[in-house]
Every structure is written in structure tokens, then in C-alpha cells.
Structure 1
Amino acid sequence: MVAQQPSRREDFEIAIVCALRLEYDAVSYIFDEYWDDDGDKYGRAEGDFNSYTTGRIGKYNVVLALLSHMGKANAASAAASIRSSYGGLQLALLVGICGGVPRPGCDEDEILLGDVVISKAVVQYDFGRQYPDKFVRKDTVEDNLSKPNKDVRNLLVTFETDRGRDRLRERTAYFLQELQANAASRQRRSKYRYPGTAEDRLFEPNYRHKHHVMPTCICRECYGKFDPVCDEALNSSCDDLGCDDKQIVVRERLETRRQLEQGGNEVQEPTIHVGPVASGDTVIKSGEDRDMLARRESVIAFEMEGAGIWEEVPCIVVKGVCDYADCHKSKKWQNFAAATAASASKAILERYIQTDKIPSAGAGAARCNMVNEHQARGKVQSSTDPYQVNT
């Protein structure tokens, strides 16, 4: 059933939150209709400073919010404001990009760039105590983030079945092609193009991103994890620095994809990974620290807003893998990863079961009495309901 344009903010059941403009741009291409093309019709609650985009995705009315800044605190504040303005929300999707753990565990698939990570839990890995010799995360029952609610848990468990994951992957691939076509119709054909297997490079965790060819800077003294590199190296590409391809990790799944690509086959379809996601205010740019944290916390990806939203609204983190959270990360995959995450979020909503709403008879009667009273006085020009669409 296709959603009709709602008359009140309370009729919106789904929120999508993005932290970056490029994430917002990708999500904007999965909307089937917009309700605010002629201007905002719904307003917002007092004290809510978020800006919203409203529309329809499939059978759901959706409100889309773009954060002003990255990070947990800003995400938590924005999520609380969304909840105050849109009291009927059932689910929030945090959609965007993340750093992936290349091989999360022996039983997990290899994670490649462009794959999609879906959270079954969020770990606030940077919340703890720093001792002289080590950092200890607070992990008591009171300190850990809560489990998803039953509605979200029951949805996620279906995505961990073979049938559920296959269906989600197939629909994500379909919506990705749809997104790319929509972008192409607006003269942005290349923006969400698959970068290609040659651009998916994973270096050994301890291989540093520095000047390798006859360095004349401090890079020449960089041999260990804690040795500094020059500022220029921090902002340069692997090609510019001469990073050695012999240090690239060979991965079976990528090799299979490369062979298919060389045969002229389509290989952009992302794999869906469901698992715990690490969330913190620090951007991880170290392969060794990535692997250490992944082992310690059993996480499959790193991002920066999930911990802020998780406790405010029922939430699923949906992130496309744009880098490997190491010092060799670049921005080449960001737009494509944002597109795969946006496409997966639409596929998730397709499987999210709508709950019947029981109208409040008391509230309806009270509203009718109020309108009849004003009509009797001849004073009604338009609705005085702050949630009502202005006509």
C-alpha cells in the first residue's frame, strides 16, 4: 500500500538521519515522492532546531534530517529533537559511510569497499578510563548501550538468515541501480559509479602511509607504529607517496570479483553484513588499532554517530564501507558507499512490517467538538492544530 501524504507530523513513522552532505545527497535519490516541494507543511516542536525533508519511501512517510556536525553528542541532540517533533516515529535509520574491518572473524565474509554494514548492536568503544599503561572501556550493564527493542531485533534476525540476507542483497542491488539512474537523469551519472576492483586496496596493517621514495622529511625515520610522518604524507594519496603494491593483502572474494570484472560482468552488487558496530568520536586511521579494537569488541565496522542516536529512538545503523579504517584511507569510495547504504535502507524499509494504528476516539471527539464550537462562532478560517497541514 502506497503511503498518502500525511496531515500531521504524528503520521510519520520513519526517520532517516545523515551526518554528512554526501550521505544526505545519496538518500535523497531513494525517495519516491517529496511532500515539501512547495515548502514545509509540518513545522517542528519548540526547541527543535533541525531542518527536515519530508516525503515517501515505498509504503512509509519518512522524515530526513541532516546533522550540522559529526559525532555522538550532536547526533544525540538531533535525535531527541526529532522525537519531540515527530512523536509517532517507530524506527530511525542512521544512514551513511563507515570504516570496515576487512576480516571480522573466521566465520564472517570478507568485507570489501562498497559493502553494507547493518548494526545488531552498537559499542561505544571510546567510553572508559585512560590509565598510564592502557585504556579500559566501561562495560558494566549500566555503561553499555542497551539492546535494540524487540521490534528491531525481530527485523534484524531475519536479515541473518540465508533467505533474508539474499533477498535484502538482491533488493539493495536493484535500488542501487535505480539510484544511479535517478542521479544520471540529473546530470550526475558518474557520481555514484562503482570505482572498480583496482581501487579496492587493503595494505598490511603495519604498513605505514608515508613517503617511500627517497624521502627527505621525517618519513625517512618512520619504521614503527609510533614514529611520526610528515604532514604532507597525511594528506597525500598512496600513488603520490609510492606505497608498495607488494604490501597489499590478497583476498579471495576480491580476486573472484576482479576476474568477473575482467570478463565484462557487473560486480557492483554489495554484500550485506550484520553485526556489532563500534561508535566513537575518534576517526580510526590505523590498521593495527582497527584490528586490535575489532578483536577486543567483536565489531565489524567503525562510525561516529550511532552511540548518540541509539538510546534516543529505536535505531538501525546502515553504513556503506568507504575505507578500511587505516592510514591509507581515501575519499574515492565515499559516494558509492553512501549510495549502497541508501539503497540498503530502502530495502530494509521494504521488509519492515507496518503496525496497525488504533485511532484515539477521545482525541478525535475532542477535536470535533473544538471545530464545531469555532464553526458555530464563525471564526474558523483554517485548522489551529499545530500538526495540521496548512492549505
Structure 2
Amino acid sequence: MTTLDDPSLYTIGWIAALPIERAAATALLDDRHSPPKGFEQHPTDTNSYTWGRIGAHNIVIASLPAGIYGTTSAATTASSLLSSLPQVKIGLLVGIGGAVARPDRDRDIRLGDVVISQPQATDGGVVQYDLGKAKLHDAWERKGSLNMPPQVLLSALGNLQAEHEISPSKIPDILQAMGTANPRMVTTKNNAPSFAHQGSDNDRLFMSTYDHEGGSTCATCDATKEIQREKRDTTEPEIHYGIIASGNKLIKDAATRDKVASMIGEDCICFEMEAAGLMNHFPCLVIRGICDYADSHKNDRWQRYASATAAAYAKELLDYVPAKQLQATQRAIDVLKSIGDDVKNIQSVTTNVKDDVQGVHAVLLDIDQKATLRRLEPEVAIGASFNSRAENKEATCLPGTRIDLLQEISSWATNPDAGSIFWLMGPKGTGKSTIARTVAQSWENHLGASFFFQRGETDRGNLSKFFSTIAAELTEREPAIAKYIKAAATDRQREPRKAHFSVGDATEGNAKIRRSFYREKFHKLVLKPLEMVAPALRTKMPVVIVVDGLNECEPEEDIKIVVNLFSHAAAMESLQLKIFLTSNPRMRIRLGIKNDENVNHELNHHRMPTDGKDISFYMDHEMADIREKYNNRSTDGQKLAENWPGADRVESLVKLAAPLFVSAATMCRFIAEGRGGTPDERLQWILDCQGCGSTSPQLTAAYIPVLHNLYRTIPDERQQKRRERFRNIVGPLIILVEPLSRSSLARLLDVSQDEVDDEIDMLRPVLDIPSSITAPVRLLHRSFSNYLLDHKQCADMSFWIDGREAHKRVASDCLRVMDCLRRDICGTKAIRANRSTVGQRRIDSCIPPEVQYACVYWVYHVQNAGYDADLCEEAHSFLKSHRLHWMEALGLLGKGCEVARHITTLQSVFANRDDQLSEFLNRFMSFAAAVGDVLDTSPLQIYTARSGA
């Protein structure tokens, strides 16, 4: 057999799910090859390959593991192929499918015919039918979209369609040549079907209302129930173009077939099980030979012939793909990267109109859904779900990485006998959240809910809104559950105020109350409603819930509550819950959580991989992307070499970063986006930091080059002043509980907008800095904050941030900006004005973001600053002048119930330090308790009860 000199000469990847599909593809090769010289299969790639040539194109063929089907397995196969063969330009998915035959509507599709995924209107040619949501009156809402086939294949498709208008398809000639070269394939042996046409008498289409009578054939089926179709003049296959429906469920029921097809539209012509897993992971065209009608009469008789007709069409199509044009086509793996970038850009743009779209979307929601979501809205943690604005910006796994782990998770999710809880543990920065987002995205059609904890953020750093957020997402995703959650939410609102529990009361003495409170909340809002709709959810089982960053939840004791509650729920067989959790490795041991029979014993101890294989693949991909983008905007004399940066330097970067993905990602962002120098110079600056001492060498290798770059061009005599500005701006920024925009941060810190912009602009590798000055600036990873605040980690003490001093600075700034508070700040002039009638827009215009932040969090910063005499005096002065104004503001912000907790915190900070202040706080606490019932509803009424305040 021929052996090519380089794996990069193979430009087309051909995916065949079944062995018979692979056999047909192999038989149609013009020339079979041995594996090319220098081919090294990626360590995570378990595919087996067939190599060969069709016409002018070199092709590599891969199939799914024997006996394993579906979109996830197909995605894994394609991703593995691209990890080992990154030079592949386009893909073909060729095999069999079930037809949506509509002979009465000019869709007379027969067994053995060929169907091709062709974009129609806004659809890319493939629609995932189990990734949608049922709406009122049997309407169906598409959730997500799949990519179109590559342009070079669509051009070839158009040319071939034009040719077929002039002359017949070459499929019959190709099949005849295949039979002549491989007579065994077309010879019937032991009554087993061959790759030849199976006879028109064996092609029977029955009415949708008539089910199969039983047996391996339709010999006993009622002929009067058969749909009479006009006899064709020839057995040669016909070709059809339209939408192919893809999903993980095998469709073998006519009623289901027709219902789903009607939801998708008239252009739906075929059902199959792999394409949806490929379109966003492997730019390809889908070609299917029809082997059945996706009904109860389906059998295996036509599968081999249908495999052959699909492969023959693919071979004919490749004659219309110019080899030179294909060589100039972007690599498949680069197309995926650019699509990911485009999606992020689109998401960024659409967030500006999201509020308007929500108004239109709300009209379509079920009445119970709307009512339930409205009741739950104040208790939903903003940004906690995987597809929220905050999480949407974050990455999912790069194709070709984490293959083994994702496959293991997929097997766990689909195996009813596996443990109900998959607990993934790994150190900070190893990519657990990226995997959690990937799992949530991959299993979105089975997703019940998701919650991504984030320490420090009020709503996402504790359990205060955890269960209500889970309930809201369940309501959004499953309308049937809405009325049960609505009833529970209504009951909770009717409870006496004293029965409600604030996370601020989570003290050690209240541990038993806290456990009881959350247990009841979980049972009423989540568990009981799920039980009520369990029978209706059978087709969606399993229901997957993703919870990321358990160790980010405070206080720690509450983590044990979550695990115990989910373990209890997972034990209920009727629910078929699958819970995916992530945390650091010490969490389970530190909390004394024992193995549970519902936590798969083997998977419970699953650790993140610690080798550098995936990081190496990631680095190779990112460096190629950096090189291409830099060269596209550079003149010839400045371009990076084709082999830049070289295998040795990439290996050095991998050694510096492994096993922390966050370090690898930060290095790549710095090399790509860092200010000053070229990518090659910035890469070298990273390598030059290898000797820096730290208890965290991986983070030092990532963060110190970014920090040193701040002052690389600053003269020595000015550096001290710049470092002081760094501490005054970046110090507060990294300890904020909630992120603020650049403009709000400047007003809070009382510095100019230019100073803030100048200081953080060079920190883009570690900060998410939106172009809008009113959008929040976020840390890309919490480890950057931890690094600067920990003198043992921070390798350059000139960048170390004293946490207490930073909190003191922010607390003082909060007290300063709250000086603007006054009575009736929103100008309602109505003492009984209800907060809901004031309106959020008016509140936001009257209380700027930095003032809202100060009202809610100044006590938190005072607490973390520790006792300070000056700060004590400032706090006392503020409260004497503005305590009622502050209470009013908190009431308008829906935080009035937290006043008592804030006072308790202040009492603990200033205890036995200032007698006057202590006495003042005691009186203030009595007053807050007296007016607590009206504060969150009619804040202005506190002024009529000011006696004792």
C-alpha cells in the first residue's frame, strides 16, 4: 500500500458511525494507504483510522467505538481526530438514517435514497431535535443552533446539483464498480442482507397510525395499511436535500417522528443520531442513505445498501471539490476557534438588547411559568447559571482536550446503574469550572439546573439564593413543574417574617436552625416539585444538575448541607437525578463527608489529570492562533516564523504551567494581548521568570510577567509612585464583593477615570475589561486576587496587597460616597410609597452603582479591615447623620432585612472599644427590630417611627 510522507497531506476527515458504514467508505477508496510517516496519535485519541485517496483528495476515515452511538460519542470521535490530525480542513459524516417520507407533499423518499444536509433559511442543515423547548399550543422553541457545513462543500454541492440537472448521478456506476471489485459485498450469504439493492417489494411505507405487528419483517403486517406510492421506473437511488434532525434518542415510532418533524418544519427529511454532536465540533456535511422510515416497522435489511449509496454520493461530491481551493481552506480546528470568538462577540453585542428581548420572550411563557419566575426573581442569584451573562463569557473545553474525562462523565450520565453523584476534585486553576460549563452545555437538553459558586459575590458565595435559583431554572426549563414551585413559593411568602432566614444569621449557634431552614427550602422548592412531575419527565431522564465550586460557598458548614441534601434526593429512584459537583480535593475530608452509596465510589475520588497532555495541546493551538493573527497584521519583515515558537519553548511553557490551566490560559493571553513588545518577546519574558521564588511557581510564572510589564518602561524614579497607585486602585478592585464598572470604581475611589483606565489597561491578561465604561470589570480568575493578597505566594513583595489596608480604604470610601444619601432620595413625596411602585429604573438613577455598592457592603469591608480607631470614628459619624437614610436606601434595594445583621457585625467589630458607639448601636438595633416589617415594602415609613433611632 502507498505510504505518504506527512500526515498533513490528509485534508478530509470521514466519520462513519457503524462498521458497515466504514466498510462502504473503505471499499470506495481509489487507493488504500498505510499510516503516513511521522504520524503520532494524540495521547487522548483512541480512534482507529483507515487511510486512502478518492480522486485528488487524501482521506482519513474514523468510526465510533463499537456499540456506542449518539451525539456525544460522535463529538468525541471528531475531536480526537482533530487532536491527532490538526491539518484536516473539512469533514464528511456519511452513513444511514431514517426518512421522513411525505409522498403526498413531494417528499417521496424511498429506502436506499440519499439525503444531504443543506442549509435552509436560518438552519445550518442539521437541527438537534432534543435541544428544544415545548411552548404553548404545541409550539416549539429552538434552543441553540448548529453550524453550517464548510463553504467549500456548499459550493461543491451547488455545482453537483447543477450537473444533475444535465446528466444523471454517477451513484449507480460507483456502486457497480464497488460490487465488481468486492463481489463479497453484493453477495447474499446465509440470508444476511448485502450491500446490493434489496428489492422494491421490501420497501413498504405504512400509515403513521398503524404499528408493526411483530417479527423481524413486515410479512404479517396488514397490506391495506400500506401507503400506495407510484412505482419508480428504476431502482437507482434518488437524492434529496433538506434538514436532517439529529439527537440522542432513536426514533422508531411514527407518531413521534411526525410530531417532531412537524415542529422542525416541512424541510425535515431525515432522523439520525450523530450529526448534532459534530456540527459545532467538526465542520462537515452530513450525507445519509435511507434504511428505514423511523417507525415501528424499521429493520436492518436496508442498512448495508443505504450505507453504500451514501458513500457513493460522497465520492461523487468530492470530484467537485477543487484540491487547490481545499488547500487554501482554513483548518477545521481553526474554524472552530474563530466560530467560538464570533459567538463571544455576538453574545457581547446581544447583552445590550437582552432586556428588550426578555419582554418579547415573556409573552411566550406559560402563565404559571411567568408567575413562578416573577415570585422567585428577587431570590435568584444573578450570573449563577452556566448560560448567564457572567458565565457565558467563560470558556468551555477546547475540542481535542479532556476527551477521556468528558467521555467518562458522559458514560456516568447515561448509565442508570452508575452512582448518582459525580464529584470532580482538583486544585484551583486546573480547569474544573471549564469542565463544568462543558458538561452543562453538552447535556443542556437534559439539564435541570446549574449553579456556579463564586466566593465573595453576595448572591453566588453562599446558600441564600441557591435553592431558589435552582427552582427558577427548573421552572424555565420544564414548564410542567412551574405550578408546584409556584405553590411552594407562595406558601413561603405567606409565612411570618420571623420564619424567614437570612444567610447573615449563619453563626455556629444557629447551625441547627440553618440546616432545618435549608432542608425545608430544598424540599419545598426543588425536591417535592420534581417528585410531582417525575412521570412527565421520563423522556428527559436523566435530569442533570451541575454545581461548580462547592468550596467557594461560605460558610463551609453549608457545603455539607448541600451534599447531604443532594445525596438524599439522588437516592430516590423515581427522579433519576444525576448531580455533577466540583470542588478542591480537601473539601470532602475537611468536612468529614463520608462515602455515600449514591456517590459512585470510583468517581467520587476522581481527580483532575495532573499531567500536561491537555495543556500541551491547548498551548499548541493557542500559539498557532497567536502566530496567525499577529502575522495577518504585520509586514513581511516582522512576521513570526512558520514554526514559531518551536516545540522546545512550548514544552518549557507547559512545564511552567502544568497542572494549572489558569496559568496556561494567562500566559497565552499575555503573549497574545499583553502591551509592549512582540509575542516572541513576551513569551521570553515568561521564560525568564523561571527562577522567581514562590510557594506557587505555576501562578508566579503566569502573573509576575504581567505585573512586571506594568512598569517595564517606567523610569526608576517614578516607579515608587506608580506602585502606590497600583495598591490604591488594584488593591480595592480585587477585594470588591461585587464587580464595579470603571466609571463607578473611579467615583468610589475618588480618582480620575483616566487613572483607572491607565492602571488596569495593562492587566487585560488577568482582567475582563469591557469596552463600555459602565460594564463591570471582573477578575478572570480568583487566583489572581489570592496571589496578590498572600505574601507567601506573591514572588515580588512590591506588588503584595495588604488585605486589611485595602478593606480599610474601601470602607472609608464607601462612607464618603454615602454622604449623598438623604430622606426620600427617589423623590416619591409619599410616605407610604411601596418599593415596587418606585421602580428599579428610578432607584438606579437616584442611587448610583457605587453608592448602591457602598450601602450594601461597607460593613463587610469594616469587618475585614479589623478594628481601627479612625474608621470607628468615621462609621460613628456616618451613622449619627445618615442611619435612617442608609436604612431607606437598603429598603429600596431590597436589602432592608439585612440591617440587623449589619448592626450585629458592627457591634462585634467595635465591642469594648468605644462605649458611646456601643450604646448607640444597641439603641439602633432596637429601632431596626421595631421597623423591620415595613423596611422592605414601604421604606419611608421608618421616618414616622424614628423615636429611639
Range class of TM-score, shorter chain: 0.7 to 0.9
Q: What is aligned with 1:144?
A: 145
Instruction: Give the Cα–Cα distance (whole angstroms) in 1 for the partners of residues 323 and 316 of structure 2.
Output: 14
1:204 to partner: Cα distance = 0.7
Work out which of the two has the higher radius of gyration on C-alpha atoms and give 1 or 2.
2
Cα pair distance change 1:7/1:366, threshold 3 Å = farther
1:79 to partner: Cα distance = 0.7
1:104 to partner: Cα distance = 7.3
Secondary structure at the aligned position of 2:13 is classed as strand
Instruction: Give the Cα–Cα distance (whole angstroms) in 2 for the partners of residues 187 and 249 of structure 1.
Output: 31
Verify the 8 A CA contact 2:148 2:283 in the aligned structure 1.
no
Alignment of 1:151-190 (within 5 A): 151-161=152-162, 163-164=163-164, 167=167, 170-184=169-183, 186=184, 189-190=187-188
Secondary structure at the aligned position of 1:320 is classed as strand
Residues 71-94 of structure 1, C-alpha deviations (whole Å, 9 max, x = no match): 000001111111111112121111
Verify the 8 A CA contact 1:158 1:165 in the aligned structure 2.
no
Instruction: Give the Cα–Cα distance (whole angstroms) in 1 for the partners of residues 318 and 187 of structure 2.
Output: 26
Verify the 8 A CA contact 1:152 1:314 in the aligned structure 2.
no
Q: What is aligned with 2:128?
A: 124
Partner amino acid for 1:183?
A: N
Q: What is aligned with 1:206?
A: 209
Verify the 8 A CA contact 1:128 1:138 in the aligned structure 2.
yes
Instruction: Give the Cα–Cα distance (whole angstroms) in 2 for the partners of residues 152 and 165 of structure 1.
Output: 19
Verify the 8 A CA contact 1:179 1:343 in the aligned structure 2.
no
Cα pair distance change 1:80/1:165, threshold 3 Å = farther
User: Higher relative CO (CA 8 A, sep ≥ 6), structure 1 or 2?
Assistant: 1
Match of 1:332 among 296, 301, 314: 301
1:315 to partner: Cα distance = 0.4
Partner amino acid for 2:292?
A: D
Q: How many residues align?
A: 319
Cα pair distance change 1:135/1:331, threshold 3 Å = farther
1:101 to partner: Cα distance = 1.2
RMSD, aligned α-carbons: 2.8
Secondary structure at the aligned position of 1:316 is classed as strand
Partner amino acid for 1:119?
A: S
Cα pair distance change 1:366/1:129, threshold 3 Å = closer
Instruction: Give the Cα–Cα distance (whole angstroms) in 2 for the partners of residues 333 and 65 of structure 1.
Output: 22
Q: What is aligned with 2:264?
A: 297
Secondary structure at the aligned position of 2:317 is classed as helix
> Percent identical across equivalent pairs?
34
Secondary structure at the aligned position of 1:98 is classed as strand
Q: What is aligned with 1:249?
A: 227
Instruction: Give the Cα–Cα distance (whole angstroms) in 2 for the partners of residues 248 and 178 of structure 1.
Output: 35
Instruction: Give the Cα–Cα distance (whole angstroms) in 2 for the partners of residues 365 and 344 of structure 1.
Output: 41
Q: What is aligned with 2:54?
A: 57
Verify the 8 A CA contact 2:90 2:284 in the aligned structure 1.
yes
Residues 77-134 of structure 1, C-alpha deviations (whole Å, 9 max, x = no match): 111111111112121111111001112783x441110000111100000113468996
Q: What is aligned with 2:537?
A: none
1:65 to partner: Cα distance = 0.2
Verify the 8 A CA contact 2:148 2:279 in the aligned structure 1.
no
Q: What is aligned with 1:9?
A: 7
Secondary structure at the aligned position of 2:228 is classed as coil
1:8 to partner: Cα distance = 1.6
Partner amino acid for 1:256?
A: R
Secondary structure at the aligned position of 2:256 is classed as helix
Verify the 8 A CA contact 2:129 2:246 in the aligned structure 1.
yes
Instruction: Give the Cα–Cα distance (whole angstroms) in 2 for the partners of residues 279 and 166 of structure 1.
Output: 32
Greater helix fraction, Structure 1 or Structure 2: 2
Cα pair distance change 1:145/1:66, threshold 3 Å = same
Instruction: Give the Cα–Cα distance (whole angstroms) in 1 for the partners of residues 37 and 235 of structure 2.
Output: 36
- The answer to whether structure 1 residue 26 and structure 2 residue 24 are counterparts is yes
Residues 18-43 of structure 1, C-alpha deviations (whole Å, 9 max, x = no match): 11111111111101111128x98623
1:171 to partner: Cα distance = 1.5
Q: What is aligned with 2:248?
A: 281
Residues 112-168 of structure 1, C-alpha deviations (whole Å, 9 max, x = no match): 1000011110000011346899694533xxx1112233323323333444x34665x
1:6 to partner: Cα distance = 2.9
Verify the 8 A CA contact 1:159 1:274 in the aligned structure 2.
no
Residues 209-248 of structure 1, C-alpha deviations (whole Å, 9 max, x = no match): 13xxxxxxxxxxxxxxxxxxxxxx3x54322xx2111111
Instruction: Give the Cα–Cα distance (whole angstroms) in 2 for the partners of residues 154 and 35 of structure 1.
Output: 28
Instruction: Give the Cα–Cα distance (whole angstroms) in 2 for the partners of residues 165 and 98 of structure 1.
Output: 25
Q: What is aligned with 1:238?
A: 218
Q: What is aligned with 2:41?
A: 44
1:366 to partner: Cα distance = 11
Instruction: Give the Cα–Cα distance (whole angstroms) in 1 for the partners of residues 202 and 103 of structure 2.
Output: 21
Secondary structure at the aligned position of 1:293 is classed as helix
Instruction: Give the Cα–Cα distance (whole angstroms) in 2 for the partners of residues 147 and 104 of structure 1.
Output: 28
TM-score normalised by length of structure 2: 0.32
Q: What is aligned with 2:95?
A: 96
Partner amino acid for 1:237?
A: T
Residues 283-324 of structure 1, C-alpha deviations (whole Å, 9 max, x = no match): 111222222222221310001000111111220111100001
Verify the 8 A CA contact 2:159 2:320 in the aligned structure 1.
no
Q: What is aligned with 2:662?
A: none
Residues 337-365 of structure 1, C-alpha deviations (whole Å, 9 max, x = no match): 1110111111111111223547x994489
Aligned structure 1 segments of 4 or more residues deviating by more than 6 angstroms: 130-135, 364-367
Instruction: Give the Cα–Cα distance (whole angstroms) in 2 for the partners of residues 144 and 364 of structure 1.
Output: 36
Cα pair distance change 1:187/1:125, threshold 3 Å = closer
Instruction: Give the Cα–Cα distance (whole angstroms) in 2 for the partners of residues 365 and 145 of structure 1.
Output: 33
Instruction: Give the Cα–Cα distance (whole angstroms) in 2 for the partners of residues 84 and 27 of structure 1.
Output: 22
Unpaired segments ≥5 residues, structure 1? 211-232, 258-266, 368-391
Q: What is aligned with 1:354?
A: 323
Secondary structure at the aligned position of 2:243 is classed as strand
Verify the 8 A CA contact 2:200 2:235 in the aligned structure 1.
no
1:205 to partner: Cα distance = 0.8
Instruction: Give the Cα–Cα distance (whole angstroms) in 2 for the partners of residues 285 and 187 of structure 1.
Output: 27
Q: What is aligned with 2:289?
A: 320
Cα pair distance change 1:274/1:131, threshold 3 Å = closer
Cα pair distance change 1:187/1:127, threshold 3 Å = closer
Instruction: Give the Cα–Cα distance (whole angstroms) in 2 for the partners of residues 198 and 135 of structure 1.
Output: 38
Verify the 8 A CA contact 2:4 2:37 in the aligned structure 1.
no
Secondary structure at the aligned position of 2:241 is classed as strand
Secondary structure at the aligned position of 2:323 is classed as coil
Residues 45-79 of structure 1, C-alpha deviations (whole Å, 9 max, x = no match): 23111111111111111000011121000001111
Instruction: Give the Cα–Cα distance (whole angstroms) in 1 for the partners of residues 63 and 247 of structure 2.
Output: 19
Instruction: Give the Cα–Cα distance (whole angstroms) in 2 for the partners of residues 303 and 366 of structure 1.
Output: 43
Verify the 8 A CA contact 2:26 2:50 in the aligned structure 1.
no
Cα pair distance change 1:112/1:187, threshold 3 Å = closer
Q: What is aligned with 2:71?
A: 72
Instruction: Give the Cα–Cα distance (whole angstroms) in 1 for the partners of residues 284 and 255 of structure 2.
Output: 30
Partner amino acid for 2:174?
A: F
Cα pair distance change 1:87/1:338, threshold 3 Å = same
Instruction: Give the Cα–Cα distance (whole angstroms) in 1 for the partners of residues 17 and 44 of structure 2.
Output: 20
Secondary structure at the aligned position of 1:355 is classed as helix
Cα pair distance change 1:187/1:321, threshold 3 Å = closer
Cα pair distance change 1:188/1:204, threshold 3 Å = closer
